[in-house]
Each structure stands twice: as structure tokens, then as C-alpha cells.
Chains A and B, each alone.
Chain A
Amino acid sequence: MKKTLFDKIWDSHIVESIPNGPDILYIDKHLIHEVTSPQAFNELKERQVPVFRPEKIVATADHNTPTQNQHLPVQDLLSRKQLKELTQNCEENNITLYGLGHPYNGIVHVMAPELGITQPGMTMVCGDSHTSTHGAFGTIAFGIGTSQVAQVFASQCLLVEKPKRLRVNLNGKLKNGVLPKDVILYIISKLGTNSGTGYFCEYAGNVFEEMSMEGRMTVCNMSIEMGARGGLIAPDETTFEYVKGREFAPKAAEYDKQLEYWKTLKTDEGAEFDQEYSFEAEDIEPMITYGTNPGMGIKLTGAIPTEGNKSDLKALAYMNFKPGEILLEKPINYIFIGSCTNSRIEDFRVSASYIKGKQKAENVYALIVPGSRQVASQIKEEGLDKIFEEAGFTLRQPGCSACLAMNDDKIPEGEYCVSTSNRNFEGRQGQGSRTILASPLTAAATAIAGKITDFTKSLN
């Protein structure tokens, strides 16, 4: 039988299928962080159930960490307590923790791929919806709730219904200035925020094949924003080259053996999908969002749709925008380049290349937050930090930061923020904040102009 990539990986991880029920799915890697794990550890303690496979769990601290003075004790007492509990829980259960200050620390979806923890053909879960990021490696990776975190602790398995198969095809040549973030924002704007619910999405076509691993991670990261449980891209030479030599990647003969297997990880010609959509790369332009869900996106130079239902109008009222309004030239006081969507080295290279030799506008506070300690070091090595500093941008230490504003990195009430993160929900970046999602290039150009600007005119 002809199988999709998703079927191949899923089926090889089924321990048992419950008749008329879910599958018992074996999980190769379980990533945890401070916010969604404490109650799961408590659950196990209460039941006196041990962690079954601690060596298959990796922990980091990212959601609730400050991006300044990470060498000092965390000021926020609740945050400090949560981080302390993560440390204790990991120690008690022999789980590897890359805590605050560790050279491997970073946003869970940035540090795991860069350490080679994420590998093709794996099943991976984390108590975080953006776990879909790891699908960029041809991995079945998805976010889970805390009860499920406890289930994986207890059994290294999950009881899950197999999602349906969805494929999004994108072929053609992307226009100058169009980044992977624009690609995924475009797809979500066309399909809507619940189009993927119940599905696992494979991205196929030459655009994804030609994309870097960083770009693929940006795309897969936002699969959840169209409701899909996860997204994945068949591994290829780009993937194998990226994984090779990384800290926890297989080495020497073991790598060769794995490589042989990884090369089989693709959808068979003629395999069937439950749903399929196709788009053309030439139709995509730099994108921005205007509402309070990631599906409310338009091209940078476009106008807000004039028609909408009650919820759409409520979103526009929150954003203080009007139907039909064009957002170009709109003054913006905050920009944020960071989050598990866009905080990898490539994101900072592309923004630095635009910023170089320019100055941010006076009205703008421009916040740059690398995804991991390793990305932060690379920024320094490549001299990007100087470019950001000279342009007046603020470069911080790694973490989730202003993407969800659990720490002090908040956007003030009523202010707009052009942000490279993944969610423009009401109050996501701080109470009353108004988020406009965009690519790192759009965010950088906004910071320089002090307003939303059509930067494509100035590109070569």
C-alpha cells in the first residue's frame, strides 16, 4: 500500500491500537519546560508512579525566564519558584536539564534542533503547541497538554487518535523579500485558523525543498495556527547536512545507518491525502496581520477586508483598525524579533543585512531576542550584535520573551508591535497590546522607518 510520510512514521510507532479507539503511540523524545511540567510531576508523585524513561526526556527553561541579567537570581518570585521546581523535578527524576545560563539553554524549539536532539523519523512531544516546529526534520512532533505530559512520563507513550492527512503544495519562485514567515502567514490567511484541525499537514513542493532548515522550522512552527496538530517536510540532503555533526546527532557508522533509514522517509508516489491544497509562490508577497488571530493576514501593501462577521469586527475594534483600511505608513512604536518562530541565526542575518548602516526611527523600541545561547554566541561571532547596537536596537538574552509576555518583556496597552512571533491574540504580548505578525525583514524595516513601509522597493 502506498503510504504518506506521516503514515510511515506514525505506523512504525504504534505499540497497540485500541479497537474503536486511539493508538498507543511510542514517543522517542519528550521535551519539557518549566510552565507545563510541574503539575505533571505532581500527578506522578501523587500516584507514586516513577518516570518510565528519563533518558528520553530533555528539559530547558524558556517561557518564564528574564532576558536580562540571567546570571542573577530571578527577581519575580513566582517565576523563580517555577524554575526551582523544574530543577528539583529534573534532579529527582534523573532528567537532563539545560537550565538558565547553561550553554545549551534556549527556547525548546530552537535548542533541540540545534543540538541534534531532533532527528528525522522520530516522534516528539512537548507541552507546547509550537512543538510542530520539529516537523521540519521529517518528524512527527506535536504539542500536548499537561495530563499528557504526565502520561508520557509514566509510559513514554500517548493515547492518541491518528489525525487525518493533509498536504499543502507550494511550487514556483518566491519574490524578492518574501520569507518563509510570509509563506506560512499567506497559507493560513487563505485556509483559515481551523482548516487544519484534526489533520497532520505535509508541506510539499519545490519552495519547501529549496528552503533552509531555519525556514522550514518557521513554516512547520505555525502549522498549529491553522489548527493542524503538526506539520512536516520530507527530510532531504538539506536536513541530513544540518543534523550531521551536531552534539547529539548519531556519529560515524551510526550516522550512516540512520541516514539509510532517513532516506526512505518520503511520501510514496500516489499516496492519498484526506485533503490537499495547492498554491503558487508567485502570488505571495510580504504579509502582515491586521486582526487577533493569525488567519487575519493581508499583503503588506493590501487593505483590510471590508466584509466580516461579528468576531472579525470585534477584532478590528480591538486593533483600532477599520474595514478597508490600508496599514502602510501606519506609525509603529514597537518591534520584536524573536520567538520559536523567528529567532534562529538566519532570522538575525536577514534583519541585520537590512539594518546595516541604518538607524532605527526615534519613536521605535526595537527588541531583539535570540532563541538560544548558541544563537546568541553566533550573533556575536558574526558581528551582528554591532550592527544591531549601532542601529539602536536592544539585544537581549535568550528566551520566549515578548512572544507571550510571561516575563517583563511586555508591549504597553494600546501600542502596536510588529512582531516576528506566532500569535496576535488579544493581550498576547501584554494586556491591551496590539500585535501585527510579520517576517524578520518586515519587522526590521518597520523599525528603521518608524512605520509600516513597503521595503521591497529598496531591495536589490
Chain B
Amino acid sequence: MEKFITLTDTAVPLDAENVDTDQIIPARFLKATDKSGFGENLFKDWRFKKDGTPNKDFVLNDPTYKGSILIAGNNFGCGSSREHAAWAIKAYGFKAVVSSYFADIFKGNALNNGVLPVQVSPEFLQELFQAVNANASQEIKIDLENQLIEITETGKSESFDIDPYKKTCLINGYDDIDFLVSKLKEIEKFEQSRTAKKDLVEKTW
């Protein structure tokens, strides 16, 4: 996995709440058996009209806004567990998503793909929207080491939470599979102790 340490970039403001993973990547694009090509279908039905032409009203089609940070309304990534949503966001070029709330499964999926979900207060989210709307070339700095997000022009900042284990993984580019595989001996021991205890559900088929 790619490392994530600090990111300073312009941002794209998506002013919508409860953005569900069906909007991020519609189900009809889930027939793929690899992880490639999802970027072009990110927010497909918001980005494009049915005839395939770009929907000018949608922020991703607005040439004013560019950058690898997506700022979105409350409860981002709700709904389906499809990791294709995180793959699409990453493939499109976003490295971080900022919102006042993330759905659990999406948050985990993003982290497992090196995309940083940054949860800020509703007030700071509004400040971010205002700053970016007022000046599209406004840079936002996300400092994972110090868990700080800052509007560079004004210097206004807020700290954000992240699981310390996940932070270490992102900073070092580690992932969970490597870690779990390194624990297989302990896992086998756990299996044996449960069988011995006979008080837990065991394989019966």
C-alpha cells in the first residue's frame, strides 16, 4: 500500500449529505473481477446525463475545481459495503475525503486502500466549504502525523481522530493482510483453546 504522510492540495467541494455508495459507483458497474477502470464511473449518474454527455451542474465537471481532496457533506459513504466505491475514488485521483461523518464500512474500505477519511466538526466542514467556494485555488493541508487539517490561507485548523494502528499502517504503507498472516500461530492457538474449552460454537459441518 502507498504511504500517506502529508497532503497539501486544492479540493473539490461536493455539497451533498448522505452520499451513498450506490451514487459513488452504481451497481451496474460491479460486474468487474479486477480493480481497474472504476475511476471513469465514479459518481456516474451525477456526472453524466443519460445520453453520456457531462452534466455541467455537477461539481466534478466544473473546471474551477481540481485537486486530490474531496470535501463532502455529512454521512459520506453510507449504504452498500462495496469496496468498489473506495477503488473508484482512488482511481479518479482523490487521496483524501473530508466530511463531518463517515459510514463505518466505507471508512474501513478507504483506509484499506490508502485513501484517508478525515472526519471534522460540522462547523469546520462549513468553513472548508466556504473557503473553497470563495477561492477554488485555496489549498488544504492534511498532516496525518500530527492529525491536523488546515486551511493554508487563513491558517485555521482542526485536529482529527484516527485509529493509532491505522495511522501507523498508512504512514508506513503496511496493510492488514501482512499483519494477520504474521499472527497465524496465535490464531491457531486460539482455535485449539476454543476446541478445548468446548463452550463455544464449533464446526459441525
- Which A residues form the contact surface with B (CB < 8 A)? 12, 15-16, 18, 20-22, 24, 26, 28, 35-36, 38-39, 42-43, 47, 49, 52, 55-56, 63-64, 76, 78-79, 81-82, 85, 117, 119-122, 127-129, 143-148, 150-151, 154-157, 159, 161, 163, 193-194, 197-198, 224, 227, 229, 247-251, 254, 257-258, 261, 293, 309-311, 314, 404-406, 413, 423, 425-428, 431-432
Interface string of B42-56 (1 = CB under 8 A from A): 000100001000000
B86 CB, min distance to chain A CBs, angstroms = 7
State the majority secondary structure of interface residues on A.
loop
B166: A residues at CB distance < 8 A? 21
Is the Cβ of A24 less than 8 Å from the Cβ of B183? yes
The residue from A129, A154, A431 contacting B45, defined by CB atoms under 8 A apart: A431
B28–A144 CB distance below 8 A:
no
- Separation of A21 and B200 alpha carbons in the complex (Å): 25
Cα distance A72–B106 in the bound complex, in angstroms: 36
Do A129 and B35 contact each other (CB < 8 Å), given the known contacts A155-B181, A193-B18, A432-B50?
Answer: no
> In the bound complex, do residue B176 and residue A144 qualify as a contact, i.e. CB atoms below 8 Å apart?
no
Given A20-B164, A82-B33, A159-B179, A26–B101 Cβ distance below 8 Å? no
For B69-91 the 0/1 string (1 means CB < 8 A from A) is 00001110011111110100000
From B19-27, B59-67, B133-141, the one touching the partner chain is: B19-27
B176 touches A159 (CB 8 A): yes
Interface size class of B (residues with CB under 8 A): 35 or more
Flag whether B177 is at the interface (Cβ < 8 A). Answer: yes
Knowing A145-B86, A147-B113 touch, does A159 contact B104 (C-beta < 8 A)? no
Interface residues of B (CB under 8 A from A): 15-18, 20, 22-23, 26-28, 30-35, 45, 50, 73-75, 78-84, 86, 101-105, 108-109, 112-113, 163-166, 175-177, 179-181, 183-184, 186-187, 190-191, 194, 198-201, 203-205
Residues of A within 8 A of B101 (CB): 194, 197
CA distance A311 to B62 in the complex (A): 20
Q: A16-B183, A193-B75, A423-B80 are in contact. List 14 more A-B contacts (CB 8 A).
A: A15-B183, A26-B194, A55-B203, A85-B33, A127-B83, A145-B82, A145-B105, A147-B112, A147-B177, A227-B78, A425-B20, A425-B22, A425-B79, A426-B23
**Centre residue among B45, B164, B166, B176 by max chain A CB count within 10 A:** B176
Q: Do the beta carbons of A119 and B201 come within 8 Å of each other? A: yes
In the complex, the answer to whether A311 meets B79 with C-beta atoms within 8 Å is: no
Q: Are B17 and A309 in contact (CB under 8 A)?
A: yes
The smallest C-beta distance from A8 to any residue of chain B, in angstroms, reads 11
| Contact B163–A79 (Cβ < 8 Å) | no
Q: Is the CB of A39 within 8 A of B177?
A: no
Q: Contact between B16 and A311 (Cβ–Cβ < 8 Å)?
A: yes
| Partner among B26, B50, B184 whose Cβ is within 8 Å of the Cβ of A413 | B50
- Residue of chain A at shortest CB distance from B113: A147
A174 to B186, CA, bound (A): 49
Flag if B200 contacts A121 (CB, 8 Å).
yes
Which of A76, A81, A122, A129 interacts with B201 by CB under 8 Å? Answer: A122
CB contact between B83 and one of A146, A314, A426, A427 (< 8 Å): that residue = A146
Complex Cα distance A38/B183, Å? 24
B201 and A22 within 8 A (CB): no
Contact partners of A127 in chain B: CB under 8 A: 81, 83
Contact among A147, A155, A163, A224 with B183 in the assembled complex (CB-CB below 8 Å): A155
B83 partner residues in chain A, CB cutoff 8 A: 36, 39, 127, 145-147
Contacts of B198 in A (CB 8 A): 257
Given contacts A26-B187, A293-B20, A311-B18, contact A151 B180 (CB under 8 A): yes
| List of A residues within 8 angstroms of B191 by Cβ | 26
On whether A145 and B108 interact (CB within 8 A), knowing A85-B33, A154-B180, A154-B181, the answer reads yes
B17, B80, B190: which has the most chain A beta carbons within 10 Å?
Answer: B80
User: For the complex, what is the distance from the CA of A342 to the CA of B101, rounded to whole Å?
Assistant: 30
